[in-house]
Amino acid sequence: MGVNEEDQYGVHVYYSRELGHPRLPSSVLEGLEEEGVPAVVEEKMEPASLQLSWEAALASRLGVGIGIGTDGQIMLHYKKLDPTTPLFTISQEESTNQRVIGANAARLVKGIPFQTFMEKKENSPPFEKKLSREEITVIVELVIQKLHEKRKEA
């Protein structure tokens, strides 16, 4: 005998049928799993992430839902919030934050602090390091020194 959706315990993750299951970001589910909170994954006719996340939160006995729609967003919602105001929204393009939104859904359930989302930067590699003022000064001095050497050779 099958389990009713209402009887399934976990964070509900609803995705639009138009996306197809292969496009469902597995890293969202991995974030939940890493925090030890189960997921209930359902395909829905609804295309909008906001509506999917709200419906998922309402259906979950934990009151937490994630919606992945055709609008390119992933939203985390909580049933005690206003239906039009999800807790977190990320772009489906932000692969580094997909695991974080899953983990934060689990952390909402557990009542512990959220993980920090990685800041999205245009055209920057994920390994980019911020340089200190001293490091920049050293680099500029080396460039100036090389330019002086090139002028002397010419």
Task: For residue range 60-97, list pLDDT tens digits in order.
Answer: 999 999 999 999 999 999 999 999 999 999 999 888 89
Specify the higher pLDDT residue, 99 or 123.
99
Q: 68 Cβ partners below 8 Å, 6+ apart?
A: 13, 14, 15, 16, 19, 24, 25, 28, 49, 52, 74, 92
Domain range list for the chain? 5-110
142 confidence band (pLDDT: 50, 70, 90): confident
pLDDT score recorded for residue 23 = 59
pLDDT at 7 over 60: no
pLDDT at 114 over 60: yes
Q: 29 Cβ partners below 8 Å, 6+ apart?
A: 13, 39, 41, 102
Q: Which fold has domain 5-110?
A: Rossmann fold (3.40.50)
- The reported pTM is 0.73
pLDDT at 26 over 70: yes
Mean local confidence (pLDDT), 46-71: 96
Report how far apart, in Å, the C-alpha atoms of 148 and of each of 22, 134, 135, 138, 144 are: 57, 21, 20, 15, 6
